[in-house]
Each structure stands twice: as structure tokens, then as C-alpha cells.
Structure 1
């Protein structure tokens, strides 16, 4: 039975899963749920994921939900001891801290910045939320002045997750050009992940960038 993946690249949480699938060339069948028609609330899907969220995978009857758990599972099963997530407790802990920080802090800050302005009734972006994101990028910039990747000299799953969030930050009105080390790292990843970059990193943010452009124009 081919691996089934429920999700789409419009969701930043799904992108890390699709990035791993494509980078490791794991065969899969994408399943897209029509959430407007509540397909994610149907009984068959709730058996796979009682929280009815995406992404979720069904690997021959074994279901996994939560993006970072899925990404780790895929590497451990289909490419064990890959440098993306090496079989070493300390190296994995170093990767995990960034995976969890990304989803719980970095991406969350971005969503808190995007949501009220793009989908709420506020007329301008929140300056405090903007500064919070830029402070986090500044911290990353300092760390990346010391190494090629976030955990040293090798590309890991942590880099992929952080890059997906950073790409979405670049789709907003925030200026990240002053952070030279982050941008060098980001450009390096483009060369490292050619099978992933356009479809998973760049194209999904085109809609976000358009929303920001349109809302900023309407707010003038």
C-alpha cells in the first residue's frame, strides 16, 4: 500500500512533510481534503486523526499526525541514520529543540503577525509583533555567523523547518535583508534542496505575498 499523505502545500505545517518526501524521494499519494465541505470531519478521517487537522499520513494502516512527528517518522523509516536526523541522541536533541522552537515560537509569531492584519479588522501591521519576529531572525543571524547550518556543518531537518518559516516571513512586509548570515544560509539551502525549493518553499508563499501587497495597498 502506497503511503497516503493528507495535506497541501498551502499549509506551512504540511510543507516540512512534503519537503522530506521529495528530498528523500519517498513515493506517496497526496490526499487533499475539502475542509469547506467538512471532509476532515468524516468518520474515516477521524480514525486517522481525531483532531481532524493536517498533515496526517496513513502508512499501510499506521497513522501519524503532527507535522514534526511525521517528518521524523519518515526519515527514521525510509532513510534511517540520514544526516537530516542522524541516529545519535545528542544530535537528535539538537535538531528537536529547533523543530519545537520553530513550530511553537518562530512560526507562531509569524501567524500572530499575519492573522490580525490579513484576516482581521486592523488597518496596519502590529509593530510589536513585527519586532518580535525580527528579534528572532536577529538571534538566528548571530548563530549562523558561527556555522554553515543551524546545527553545524551538515544540513538537518531543523534547517528545512526554519527555512519554510523564514520564506513565509519574506512574503510579508518585513525587511530581512540586513541579516546577512541568515540570507547566506537561506541561499545555500536553495542549492541543497533543488527538488524542494520551488514547489515547497517559493510557490506556496506567492499567495501570502499577494495578500500582503493587496492589504497594504487598500490600507493606504
Structure 2
């Protein structure tokens, strides 16, 4: 069995896919694709993934991408039970809702702050972008009310995905002091297998953003 994940450590979605593999205790071959150096545009990688994005999974010749889809696939094929992605339709629907929230709201609002700084030469962050991210975090805070994890008492791939996203925000200095539920949840997420590896990538991301950002923007 050979599982390869094409990975870029600063990328939150890429870290989410790899973190899922670590939580599942899978033996994976990690091949780094440096987006800062545009290695994703090399012909050999485009042949594997014409959309040329990370993470990309190659499971013995079965190739797919999109971090949340990869996470669901890995759990479905390799998990010993369904706790990370329940089979029960209602429980799974809640996990999916949280995943889609990360995909459509949380991560894009982090990206809206960081992408222009990394790639478009911007050095400041506008107040509307800050407000939008705080709004997303306020929803996460509500999701966690009375719960240890985003959907209940067990960690799921929704937690893994959102943790990868929020760790990127924390790495650029985002203050979550007003979100006690998130603070406690982040500490729980830090106990997951692979969390230290996620932290290394998040710090690389934060350093790259802060290098180009004017002081005092966050």
C-alpha cells in the first residue's frame, strides 16, 4: 500500500489532509510542492493534477484533491470506526455542515486577509476583512457551545479542517481572547496526532505573511 500526499506545509487545506492521515495513523509518503516557488505549475505535477493544487492524494494510483474530500475518503477507506465521519445520516449532515462552513466561510475569510499580502503586494488589512473573520469565529464559538468538539463529544474531520484553518489565523497573530470556547477547543486539537507537524506549517505560513505585512495590522 502506497499513499502519497502532495503537500505544502504553509497551506491550511494541505495540512488538514495530512493531519487526517496522521490521526488515522496512516503511513503516508509526503511529497512537498512549494507554492511560493510555483512548483505546482511544473509539468510533472500538472500531469497528476490538472488543477495543480495541494493537497493532492495518490492512493495506489487513485488520484484526487480537495482537502475535505480527501479527509472523507481516507476515513471511509482506512478508519477502524466511523467516529471521525459518522455513517448516521443526521450526524454526518452536521459534520458536513461544519466542513462546508470552513470551506465557504471560515477559510475564505482568512485567505482574504492573507492572500493579497502574500501574492498581490498589499501590506495592510482593511477593517471589513477583520470584521468578516471575527464574524466567522463568532459562529464557531456558537457551534462549540456546550460541546467539546464542533459536532459533539467526538473529534471529526470537521474539527481537523477548521483547526488547520484557525491555526493559520493564530500564526499571523489573530487574537481569540474573546472566544473561550475556541480557546479550549484549540487546546484539545493540539493533542491530536500530527498537531505538532501542523503547528510547524502554520508558523511557516505566519512568518511569510507577517514578513510582508505592515506592523499592527492584526
TM-score interval, smaller chain: 0.7 to 0.9
Structure 2 residue ranges without an equivalent (≥5): none
Map 1:125-204 → 2, pairs under 5 A? 125-191=125-191, 193=192, 195-200=193-198, 202-204=199-201
| TM norm structure 1 | 0.87
1:22–1:196 contact (8 Å) kept in structure 2: yes
The answer for the alignment partner of 1:209 in structure 2 is: 206
For 2:16 and 2:88, how far apart are their aligned partners in 1?
A: 21
1:81–1:87 contact (8 Å) kept in structure 2: no
Structure 1 residue ranges without an equivalent (≥5): none
1:80–1:87 contact (8 Å) kept in structure 2: no
Paired residue secondary structure (1:10):
coil
Deviations 1:139-187 (A, max 9, x none): 2212312211111111111111111111111122432111111101111
Q: CA RMSD in A?
A: 2.3
Map 1:1-220 → 2, pairs under 5 A? 1-33=1-33, 36=37, 38=39, 40-42=41-43, 45-79=45-79, 81-191=81-191, 193=192, 195-200=193-198, 202-214=199-211, 215-217=213-215
User: How far 1:122 moved relative to its partner?
Assistant: 3.8
Could you say if the C-alpha distance between residues 103 and 3 of structure 1 is closer, same or farther in structure 2, counting changes exceeding 3 Å? same
For 2:216 and 2:186, how far apart are their aligned partners in 1?
A: 31
Could you say if the C-alpha distance between residues 210 and 56 of structure 1 is closer, same or farther in structure 2, counting changes exceeding 3 Å? closer
Q: Which moved more, 1:118-127 or 1:67-76?
A: 118-127
Could you say if the C-alpha distance between residues 174 and 4 of structure 1 is closer, same or farther in structure 2, counting changes exceeding 3 Å? closer
Higher relative contact order (CA 8 A, sep 6+): 2
For 1:99 and 1:188, how far apart are their aligned partners in 2?
A: 18
